[in-house]
Chains A and B, each alone.
Chain A
């Protein structure tokens, strides 16, 4: 409890002394939040680390561009590329990795009572410069002994990329809430989040590695095959092939493509830190149809999101389905954020419903399971306290089942903290 209070206090102090106003930021940027729940779960941690990233990227005020207004045609571009390589990319990489390890693997581990430890390496290019012989990766280590169970291990293994895909989803929510505006660094983190482990997803080793060896994706494919009794080499290869094929859905993403293009054209070429995606407008509301992707305990999971918003609020309606061929898993839901209610309150909520195989961490070698329907209901809101400072939180209740970013078990869930309106 003391750690949580200290963390929230430090964050509040940082945001108080580094006002966002004056920097190039989206006009309707979402609130900065520092929220936590007793387990530092995935959604609260992802949102908090995303906000921390927005705070720390204020370094660009300390290092203004030198050649921007010199009128020279090439030097400003070269300077932006150098700044990208030495500042922007390493920082975005660190943010993505911290989310992956702490808010991803760590959150899923803490959810089942584990106490993970973390190891981080220098981001490139500093790793090549200062520790060229270090071949270790960033990793999360769980400190538990005894028999491990696939139902307990699978969510931890996939939790890393799940948190990255959740980051991308919350970025799309901010994109629509901000009328299509997105900061250069948010686009960087988005691209890194969406393409993490791409080489593993698309590589040749996916179907050949062991239950405990290899990286997250190789271990995931092996454990997924184990969970569904695909024990022969041919069956394991088929499971891995389906994961690889499904991954293409993750890359056919308009925000990803737009981010890549604007990083080069707006970011390097024109020196613009904030770009605007041309979102369709229907009756004065921005709308956006977008795919979403994640790994789940049953295989790859695909979403279609329909976003709609008019600053400051945003809404999302989605449906999801699985393509692993190992089970039937479907769902749908909706989320609404930041609807003004009076002058001091913003309210929202979410509802999700699904059918999927039961997740039971006490089960052993239970391959063919019945499906169970589930539901999640939550209220999300904030109340202004003084000036830009608000109390914000979420409180909900869900039944047992996998929902991206939420605890798997049944029961109440939510988080509480502070928000700062930029």
Chain B
């Protein structure tokens, strides 16, 4: 047992933290909000140049061959700085390509994923917004030597800026993954303004024709593909959320040490101390559950999915508590848009909901406990 971090992780963390500060990512988010945009090209290029898109891509395909534990370290830093979340969708699409693509597809696409030359986005959720097979109604049909996709994908992250979508659809009533170019005729992306100012779109696929080589792996897969994508998506979200929470709690500690009322720092009042103690407890537990899930996945344990569900369930609730306390203790200044805190409060809701809410994941844990 070693609950510390490797040298690689320490270096990764430091580089990421410095980048976030140097680039002023949080200020960058503000500017995007003001411009009513969700994507900044220079920021993307810089993140790609640091190798972050390829952290989980195997070395033979141009990535760093990192492990999930390394990814969590990076994500925590990204969450702290409210980095653009479309990066997570890009990484997720890369994971799908690595797991389900043919060798030729991996060789062709993974280097692009790793270097960020083209942006990818994973499109899985649909209007039904459930994580089970019934939640996949988008259909693909083989017609005249091509595939034709019909249906709707919802809450697609990175949809405004992606070059390629990895779309989960039914082919002959089994799940399949398709590469869909953003320029494909019949594909319409409608932005969804949201509380976290995330790049989210609804994709309407109206008779979208794509070449036969677009089918990842050249075949359909089992329904376990949904659980795999959910596990990855949820774990990525946990890592990012961990950073968001940690930074919010840190800002709060800082504030209550500084702010004086009744002739003393408000942090000297026990009512305040107790709330802050609960915040750091929420963060610490989130950290351990998330890293445990990452470790279980790295080790290929059969209990990894359940461990990830525990993490996402906990993190989803903890996020809400932490940011609520953060704003409570900051009072008026935290409520004002001039201060950064509201950006954390708001984006926390996004993380809470994406890739399974606390209730969704609790049900998955219950399945493991009771239905085995």
Are these two chains actual partners, yes or no? Answer: no
B-binding residues in A (CB < 8 A): none
